[in-house]
Amino acid sequence: MGSEPTSNKVLSAWISESLSLLKPRATKWILDPDKDYAALCKLLVETGEFTKLNESEYPNSFWYTSDPLDVARVEDRTFICCKAKDDAGPTNNWLDPVKAKRQLNEILAEVMVDRTLYVVPYLMGPAGSAFSKVGFELTDSAYVAASMCLMTRVGKVALDHLGDDSSDFVRGIHSTGSMDPGSRYICHFPETREIVSVNSNYGGNALQGKKCFALRIASCQARDEGWLAEHMLIVGVTTPWKTKHYICAAFPSACGKTNLAMLVPPPAYREAGWKVETVADDIAWLRIGKDGRLWATNPEAGFFGVAAGTSQKTNPNAIATISKNTIFTNTALDPERDIPWWDGKCEGPKRLFSWKNVDCNAESDKVLSHPNARFTVRASQCPSIDPHWESPEGVPISAIIFGGRRSSAAPLIYESFSWRHGTFVGATLCSELTAAAEGQVGKLRRDPMAMKPFIGYHLGDYFGHWLKVGGSPRAHMPRIFHVNWFRKDGQGKFLWPGFGENLRVIEWMIRRVENSVKALEAPLGMLPYLTDLNALGLDIEAKSILALFKIDPAEWGDDLASQGELLRSLGDRCPPAIWYEHEQLKKRLGFNTVGSRHAVPKEKRY
Ligand code: SAT
Ligand code: MN
């Protein structure tokens, strides 16, 4: 292979062991995120996998269409391979690690004989940060190697962070194999910090820095080391009275995290002095700092965002971000101008190449851009990027938001009573399924902390870990809120305008954090007094505002039953405090409870 760019013996040994399994025709280290990225893109154009976009409209950008059977995360093919099945818990698919390895090795044996293997060293988190972590992805996909150059900090920076003696790195192998969806495996070995994904080339399955490392493996590291790895955006909000608050928000995939992270204040807010800046759009690593506050870093360096619905109107910062140096996957293509097109971007041109690379008449009703079409781009290109987004110690968090996509029942905003109650609110998060994962879009599912597909261990232990982190005597935890931007009226129309106007809701949260407004106690949590939610200039009727905040116990019966079902499925690994909060909620909503089976002391409110 020629000389290796590392003197780390543990790393060299693992790489040579992997090479003897994979038997690649050639091996190429990705060491320079700019030069190597450019070379990979050139190669992908030569092989016909990339179409170069119009250089004057989308400089240095490319269009890529995937295998039509490989367009989203495959949760039923995603496995946690830990020794004891019980440790994976009821929300994960489990495989015995020894058996899984045997099966994967059969798929991987000599799989790269006619392919080039890319060795991608990558760093998750800012350079020079004590919280950042190193991973390696050995992949036979140039598309994956190129995407990793945008999504993570690749190359020398990762090797330097690792140093010569450390064995603390995540070992990842990825192969497109034969692309047989039936033998698709996204496997995680949390005990040995390994990832193997085969037969998929889709972002969430194949870009291992993202969900595989930064959430599934990292959640286990976080449990062992006393921190939190979460499916959250991080946004900085500056008020006209010159305070700055960083807020984390957990939403399931494709529920608007990128839009919230890049929010543009409505004109009156901008004029008043409000400013919103972006730190992360998908993942946050959180630790308690020396001052007892919770501090967050973004482990990623890029955005893998949903194209559908992204427009100058809904997210101008995203549009500016993806105007150059971007990979577009499974959007449609306007062949006259060589520019990408997706639903909600603008009026479609008359002729388009669909995401399946088929020449279509745009007026036909065919799906032209896949609903899970994505853009891949460096975060540094975002006009709203926060000046501290790469700060090694992270940014201090004032509030955590949990949000679902729910047409009914859940109000626009409420505040939890305490860290414990907030943990329960996150634990019982519920949302309609989106196109980001395979499954029936629109179906309601429980998605604890928006992490259901991303927790690398037992859900009950995960809830316990949240309670433990926030319960530490030196912790001064942020307040936890719940939002629902997606409530609809009887006619199926959204009640709340969303997007930039969500800043109105954030303003209320900040005022709560700063203790400058009171709130009204309600069964779910604390609600705003309506006079405290700024609706000035909004085209919204008073009755819609009331409908947004309605809590109808009749709408909560099924929900409470399904909460109980989830908690029961955790057996004795469900912390009693979570059961206790469930029973208290039931009581507050006026449902009969057979006393409290869980004697848990009252917790101090915020
Ligand atoms: O497909 S990804 O997992 O990378 C994005 C998402 O679903 O949140
Ligand atoms: Mn996500």
H or E segment to which residue 507 belongs: helix 502-513
CA-CA distance, 606 to 597, in Å (whole number)? 25
556 lines ligand 1 (CB under 6 A): no
* Mean pLDDT for the stretch of residues 308-325: 97
258 lines ligand 1 (CB under 6 A): no
Specify whether the CB–CB gap between 249 and 484 falls below 8 A: no
Tell me which of 201, 207, 233, 253 to substitute to probe ligand 1's pocket, judged by most ligand atoms within 8 Å of the beta carbon.
253
- Residue recorded with tokens 């291992």: 208
* Mean pLDDT for the stretch of residues 315-343: 97
Sheet holding 351-353, edge to edge: 339-341, 332-334, 351-353, 359-361
Say how many C-beta atoms besides its own lie within 10 A of residue 271's C-beta.
10
Q: Grade residue 434 by pLDDT with cuts at 50, 70 and 90.
A: confident
CA-CA distance, 219 to 462, in Å (whole number)? 9
376 lines ligand 1 (CB under 6 A): no
Q: How far, in Å, is the centroid of ligand 2 from the Cα of 153? A: 18
Looking at residue 464, what is its pLDDT? 98
Closest ligand 1 atom to Cα of 437:
7
Own/partner contacts of 36-41, CB < 8 Å, gap of 24 or more, are 36/145, 36/149, 36/154, 36/155, 37/146, 37/149, 37/150, 40/118, 40/142, 40/145, 40/146, 40/149, 41/146
Q: How far, in Å, is the centroid of ligand 2 from the Cα of 518? A: 34
Could you write out the DSSP letters of every residue in 348-388?
Answer: PPSEEE-TTS-EEETTS-S--S-TT-EEEEEGGG-TTB-TT
The whole-chain average pLDDT of the chain stands at: 95
Whose CA is closest to 104, among 210, 195, 202? Answer: 195
Q: Is the pLDDT at 1 greater than 60, yes or no?
A: no
CA-CA distance, 211 to 231, in Å (whole number)? 9
214 lines ligand 1 (CB under 6 A): no
Closest ligand 1 atom to Cα of 202:
1
Q: Grade residue 596 by pLDDT with cuts at 50, 70 and 90.
A: low
Looking at residue 442, what is its pLDDT? 78
Specify the residue with its C-alpha closest to ligand 1, atom 5. 204
User: Amino acid identity, residue 286?
Assistant: L
Looking at residue 29, what is its pLDDT? 98
Q: How far, in Å, is the centroid of ligand 1 from the Cα of 557? A: 31
DSSP 273: T
* Mean pLDDT for the stretch of residues 457-474: 96
Closest ligand 1 atom to Cα of 252:
8
Closest ligand 1 atom to Cα of 231:
8
203 lines ligand 1 (CB under 6 A): yes
DSSP 209: I
582 lines ligand 1 (CB under 6 A): no
CA-CA distance, 191 to 162, in Å (whole number)? 19
CA-CA distance, 534 to 528, in Å (whole number)? 10
Closest ligand 1 atom to Cα of 257:
8
Whose CA is closest to 538, among 524, 550, 548, 526? Answer: 548
Q: How far, in Å, is the centroid of ligand 1 from the Cα of 306? A: 9
Specify the residue with its C-alpha closest to ligand 1, atom 3. 204
304 lines ligand 1 (CB under 6 A): yes
Longest dimension (CA), the chain: 72
Whose CA is closest to 439, among 67, 77, 64? Answer: 77
436 lines ligand 1 (CB under 6 A): yes
CA-CA distance, 325 to 304, in Å (whole number)? 13
Specify whether the CB–CB gap between 60 and 168 falls below 8 A: no
Looking at residue 601, what is its pLDDT? 79
Looking at residue 400, what is its pLDDT? 98
- Residue recorded with tokens 């996204």: 186
CA-CA distance, 467 to 221, in Å (whole number)? 17
Tell me which of 74, 143, 200, 210 to substitute to probe ligand 1's pocket, judged by most ligand atoms within 8 Å of the beta carbon.
210
Q: How far, in Å, is the centroid of ligand 2 from the Cα of 426? A: 16
Using DSSP, state whether 308 is helix, strand or coil. coil
> What is the chain's length?
606
Distant-in-sequence, close-in-space partners of 125: CB < 8 Å, separation ≥ 6: 131, 132, 133, 285, 297, 298, 299
Structure tokens at 291: 């001052």
Using DSSP, state whether 272 is helix, strand or coil. helix
| Phi, psi for residue 156 in degrees, rounded to 5 | -55, -40
Using DSSP, state whether 7 is helix, strand or coil. coil
Looking at residue 18, what is its pLDDT? 98
Whose CA is closest to 118, among 97, 160, 83, 149? Answer: 149
CA-CA distance, 195 to 173, in Å (whole number)? 6
Output b/e per residue, 73-101; b: 16+ Cβ within 10 A: bbbebbbbbbeeeebbbebbebbebeebb
Q: Is this prediction's pTM over 0.95?
A: yes
CA-CA distance, 382 to 375, in Å (whole number)? 13
Sheet holding 302-306, edge to edge: 50-52, 62-64, 327-329, 374-378, 302-306
Q: How far, in Å, is the centroid of ligand 1 from the Cα of 204? A: 5
Specify the residue with its C-alpha closest to ligand 1, atom 1. 204
From the CA of 437, the nearest ligand is 1
453 lines ligand 1 (CB under 6 A): no
* Mean pLDDT for the stretch of residues 525-540: 95
Q: Is 255 a catalytic residue?
A: yes
Per annotation, catalytic residue among 81, 220, 255, 382: 255
Q: How far is CA 327 from the centre of its chain?
A: 19
From the CA of 376, the nearest ligand is 1
Whose CA is closest to 82, among 457, 429, 595, 591? Answer: 457
Q: Grade residue 578 by pLDDT with cuts at 50, 70 and 90.
A: very high
Specify the residue with its C-alpha closest to ligand 1, atom 8. 253
172 lines ligand 1 (CB under 6 A): no
Q: How far, in Å, is the centroid of ligand 1 from the Cα of 96? A: 25
Closest ligand 1 atom to Cα of 211:
3
Write the pLDDT tens digit of every residue in 243-279.
999 999 999 988 989 999 999 999 999 999 999 999 9
Looking at residue 357, what is its pLDDT? 86
Tell me which of 74, 75, 211, 454 to substitute to probe ligand 1's pocket, judged by most ligand atoms within 8 Å of the beta carbon.
211
Residues of the chain with pLDDT > 90: what percent? 90
Q: How far, in Å, is the centroid of ligand 2 from the Cα of 492? A: 26
Specify whether the CB–CB gap between 462 and 455 falls below 8 A: yes
* Mean pLDDT for the stretch of residues 301-320: 96
Tell me which of 71, 304, 438 to substitute to probe ligand 1's pocket, judged by most ligand atoms within 8 Å of the beta carbon.
304
Residues of the chain with pLDDT > 70: what percent? 99
Q: How far, in Å, is the centroid of ligand 2 from the Cα of 269? A: 28
Q: Kindly report the three-state secondary structure assignment for every residue of 531-598.
A: HHCCCCCCCCCHHHHHHHHCCCHHHCHHHHHHHHHHHHHCHHHCCHHHHHHHHHHHHHCCCCCCCCCC
Four-CA torsion 41, 42, 48, 54, nearest 10 degrees: 80
Looking at residue 2, what is its pLDDT? 47
Q: Which residue would you say has higher pLDDT here, 49 or 364?
A: 49
210 lines ligand 1 (CB under 6 A): yes
